[in-house]
């Protein structure tokens, strides 16, 4: 039964002398290779050279601090609930007297982990957060040989002290 008109009849025709010599085919192949020598290369020397990402690129997460350096996250769990990949797990803790400079509210994330092997960088955790605590930055989540290194804890996620409050960058504060 014929479904389309795209079928081709294969003919085992005799090869011409030029085809038997293979030379024209080799020369045409070399011509294509030489042409590519003079074209702009699509590849770059990563990691020495890096490409600019789109402004909507979503990379590694950051758990933000407020202007006074306190952690914004209150361990409400909305990011974990909204995560379609079930990549986030949180253990809540209660702020003790004397810890007011570390955590903004009475509850904080004692442990906050993202499984970067599960994460699909959809940004839903960022949208769900009512405390401006989690953002996806322009940073790449680096490759690794060990699966356990892809569980990012607070040591990798919390914004370093003294860095910008702008959600998309880690650049130091501009005066
Ligand atoms: S970016 Fe998406 S998949 Fe990744 S942790 Fe956030 S909600 Fe989950
Ligand atoms: S990051 Fe935001 S949404 Fe997630 S637990 Fe912390 S405060 Fe709640």
Q: Whose C-alpha lies nearest to ligand 2, atom 3?
A: 129
* Domains: count for the chain: 1
Is residue 63 in contact with ligand 1, taking CB distance under 6 Å? Answer: no
Residue 112 β-bridge partners: 90
Residue 145 confidence (pLDDT): 93
Residue 16 confidence (pLDDT): 86
In a domain? residue 19: no
In a domain? residue 73: yes
* Domain carrying residue 87: 61-157
Q: Whose C-alpha lies nearest to ligand 2, atom 4?
A: 79
In a domain? residue 28: no
User: In terms of Cα–Cα distance, which of 57, 56, 55, 78 is closest to 127?
Assistant: 78
Q: What average pLDDT does range 92-98 have in this prediction?
A: 96
Is residue 141 in contact with ligand 1, taking CB distance under 6 Å? Answer: no
Q: Whose C-alpha lies nearest to ligand 1, atom 2?
A: 122
> How far is CA 139 from each of CA 41, 84, 86, 136, 162, rounded to the nearest angstrom?
25, 21, 22, 8, 18
CA of 83, nearest ligand number: 1
Residue 115 confidence (pLDDT): 97
In a domain? residue 75: yes
Residue 174 confidence (pLDDT): 36
Confidence of residue 142 (pLDDT cuts 50, 70, 90): confident
Helix (H) or strand (E) holding 172: none
- For the cut 50, the answer to whether the pLDDT of residue 135 exceeds it is yes
Question: What percent of the chain has a predicted confidence (pLDDT) above 70?
Answer: 93
Residue 170 confidence (pLDDT): 52
CA–CA dist 128, 78 (Å, integer): 6
Distance 27 CA to ligand 1 centre (A): 52
Distance 174 CA to ligand 1 centre (A): 30
Q: What is the pLDDT of residues 9-64, one digit of tens each?
A: 888 888 888 888 888 899 999 999 999 999 988 889 988 988 888 888 899 999 99
- For the cut 50, the answer to whether the pLDDT of residue 173 exceeds it is no
In a domain? residue 43: no
In a domain? residue 67: yes
In a domain? residue 77: yes
Confidence of residue 6 (pLDDT cuts 50, 70, 90): confident
Is residue 133 in contact with ligand 2, taking CB distance under 6 Å? Answer: yes
- For the cut 90, the answer to whether the pLDDT of residue 125 exceeds it is yes
CATH number at 84 reads 3.30.70.3270
CA–CA dist 109, 102 (Å, integer): 11
Is residue 74 in contact with ligand 2, taking CB distance under 6 Å? Answer: yes
Distance 57 CA to ligand 1 centre (A): 14
């Amino acid at each position: 039964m014929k479904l389309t008109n795209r079928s081709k009849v294969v003919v085992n025709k005799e090869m011409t002398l030029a085809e038997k010599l293979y030379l024209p085919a080799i020369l045409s192949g070399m011509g294509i290779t030489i042409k590519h020598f003079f074209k702009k290369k699509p590849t770059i020397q990563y990691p020495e050279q890096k490409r600019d990402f789109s402004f909507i690129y979503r990379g590694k997460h950051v758990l933000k601090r407020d202007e006074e350096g306190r952690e914004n996250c209150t361990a409400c769990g909305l990011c974990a609930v909204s995560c379609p990949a079930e990549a986030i797990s949180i253990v809540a803790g209660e702020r003790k007297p004397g810890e007011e400079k570390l955590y903004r509210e009475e509850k904080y994330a004692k442990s906050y982990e993202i499984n970067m092997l599960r994460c699909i960088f959809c940004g839903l955790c960022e949208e769900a957060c009512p405390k401006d605590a989690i953002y996806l930055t322009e940073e790449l989540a680096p490759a690794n040989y060990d699966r356990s290194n892809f569980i990012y804890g607070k040591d990798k996620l919390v914004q370093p002290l003294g860095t910008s409050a702008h959600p998309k960058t880690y650049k130091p504060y501009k005066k």
